Amino acid sequence: MQQPPLLPEETLVRVIRLAKLDGTSVLVLGSVFALMSAARGDSAFAVVGLLATAAGAVELHGSGQLRQGEPGGMRWILLSQPFLYLVVLAYCYLRLSHFEMPPIPDRFREAFEISAQQVGLSVEDYLRTLNRVSIQAVAGASTLYQGIMTYYYFKRRGAVETALASDQGA
């Protein structure tokens, strides 16, 4: 038996809660990433971290507006997801275009050489391939996650507007 749809007020509460959690997570992770990159002198990656932090702040701003009864907050929340997606894609582009051969500890060097040899690559090409595959995984996960979040928020706009309208009418 299918459950009835949530009341608009419950949908509003859930959207605010999710946006606050997601926005805070993105804000904290983006800030840490920006600080770590700045400490290493990687200005391009520090900017990416700051942009991710901004995406989290945008989502938090939207949840704050909804909490105050402002329907425009939903637009901020909704747009934070494609903005964050573009930031993640910028990060992926930078990681692919600025590959640096990482130092390999002596105890792992033989394992890397054997693995690279098994696939017919040099160690540097092997690590470049691992970098590309991991960045593709990041881009794919972001496509999925930001797509789901955008869809989630988009589908709940009507219920949120209804809840906010009933709060203002009461």
CA gap 28, 135 in Å, rounded: 21
Residue 99 has, within 13 A of its CA and on its CB side, a CA count of: 15
**Closest by Cα among 114, 137, 138, 108 to 126:** 114
26 in a domain, yes or no?
yes
Token duo for residue 161: 């507007």
CA gap 99, 128 in Å, rounded: 7
Q: What is the pLDDT along the chain (170 residues), one digit of tens a residue?
A: 788 888 899 999 999 999 999 999 999 999 999 999 999 999 999 999 999 999 999 999 999 999 999 999 999 999 999 999 999 999 999 999 988 888 888 888 888 888 999 999 998 899 999 999 999 999 999 999 999 999 999 999 999 999 999 876 55
One-letter amino acid at 165 equals A
pTM: 0.88
Please name the residues in contact with 85: beta carbons below 8 A apart, sequence gap of 6 or more.
142, 143, 146, 147
128 in a domain, yes or no?
no
155 in a domain, yes or no?
yes
145 in a domain, yes or no?
yes
34 in a domain, yes or no?
yes
157 in a domain, yes or no?
yes
Structural domain of residue 21, as residue ranges? 8-100+139-169
3 in a domain, yes or no?
no
| Overall domain count for the chain | 1
Find tokens 């040099």 and name the residue. Answer: 122
121 in a domain, yes or no?
no
